[in-house]
Structure 1
Amino acid sequence: MKLLVAAHVSELVAFEEDLPGFDRLLTGVGKIPAAYALTRALSGRTYDEIVVVGTAGAIDPEVEGGVYDIAAAIQHDVKDLDGVFGQHVSLPARVETGVDGLVIATGDHFVDDAETVALVRALDARLVDMESYALIWVAQQFGVPIRILRAVSDRAQDGATQVWDEVVERCSHQLRAVVRERYGV
């Protein structure tokens, strides 16, 4: 059995309620809700794989719309004791999924301005979201393989929050097509 995970109900609008071979988990938005929900789910059951679907902002101008696998995640809203941006006091700077793909920067705020995009882009991330780092870290603690699929919803610039509301359904349909193709359901 696999676990289908999304942060926001809108990201699952194109998915059937009962998807054969998958349990479903809605975590809530942000690192702490995501970590808590996934920890609870993995504490009560064993899964072959975690499949995360959701949206992300593209911060690299070369990243076009579409669905991307996530290879690794960093945190863009932390600093270590020396004040180094993107480094956590006790967590690893980068967590890996074990699949080929893009690096995503995770933080607990919706990135929608050019100044923040420039800071985060300097960390070598190409996308931004609010859950991937936490989900990968929890999956690693339980030894469960994780695949994260992110559909580009916006450019993480001014007005991105309004754009997200308008495009999230389209992104959900793109994600559903990829899950259908890769998992045959």
Structure 2
Amino acid sequence: MKLLVAALDSELVAFPEDLPGFERLVTGPGKLKATFALTRALDAGTYDEILVVGTAGALDESVASGVHEINWTFQHDVINEEGVRGEHVSMPQRMDLSDGDMVIATGDSFIDDADAVQLILALGGRLVDMESYAYAWVAAQFGVPIRIWKAVSDRAQDDANTTWTEAVTACSHQLRERLRDAYGV
């Protein structure tokens, strides 16, 4: 059995409630909610794979719209004991996932301004979200393979929150089509 994970119900609007071969988990937004919900699910059940679907803001102008598979993730909103941004005091600097095509920066705030975008780009992020690092870290603790697919919902600039609200349904449909193509369900 696989576990289909999203932060918000709205990211799964295009997905049927019952999807053969998948159980469904909605964690809530942010790193703590993602960590708690996924930990509980993995502690209670056995899964051969986790598939995370959701939306992300594009930081890099060259990032195409559509669905991207994450190859590694890091936390953009942490600072280590030496003052280095993007490095946690005791957690891995980055979580490697797959042969995906994209790096995603995770943090607990919604990014919608140019200064924050430039800071995260300088750290290596091309997409931004609020959960991917947490999902990847929890999956690693349980030894469960994880894939993360993110649909570009906005450009993480002015009014990105409004753009995201309007785009989330379209992103859900793109993600559903990707799942259909990859898993045949």
Partner residue, 2:73: 73
| 4+ runs deviating over 4 angstroms | none
Counterpart Cα distance in 1 of 2:107 and 2:140: 19
Maintained 8 Å contact 1:99/1:147? no
Map 1:63-142; keep pairs closer than 5 Å. 63-142=63-142
Contact 1:78 1:85 survives alignment (8 Å): yes
> Structure 2 unaligned runs (5+)?
none
CA distance in 1, matches of 2:174, 2:154: 14
Shift of 1:101: 2.1
1:1-185 alignment to 2 at 5 Å?
A: 1-185=1-185
Q: How many Å apart are 1:99 and its aligned residue?
A: 2.8
CA deviation map 1:10-56 (0-9, x unaligned) = 00000000000000000000000000000000001110100000000
TM-score by length of 1: 0.99
Total equivalences in the alignment: 185
Task: Say what the alpha-carbon RMSD is for the aligned residues.
Answer: 0.5
The answer to whether the 8 Å contact 1:5/1:50 transfers is yes
Q: CA deviation at 1:132?
A: 0.1
Q: Extract unaligned runs of 5+ from structure 1.
A: none
CA deviation after TM superposition for structure 1 residue 82, in Å: 1.1
Check the 8 A contact 1:7/1:34 in 2, yes or no: yes
Measure the CA separation in 1 of the matches of 2:144 and 2:24.
Answer: 16
Residue type of the alignment partner of 2:170 = R
Letter of the aligned partner of 1:120 in structure 2? I
The TM-score with structure 2 as length reference comes to 0.99
Q: String of CA shifts for 1:133-152, please: whole Å, max 9, x gaps.
A: 00000000000000000000
SS in 1 for 2:117: helix
Inter-partner Cα distance in structure 1 for 2:178 and 2:22:
15
Aligned-residue identity in percent? 63
* Distance in 2 (alpha carbons) for counterparts of 1:28 and 1:69: 21
Q: Counterpart of 2:42 in structure 1: which amino acid?
A: L
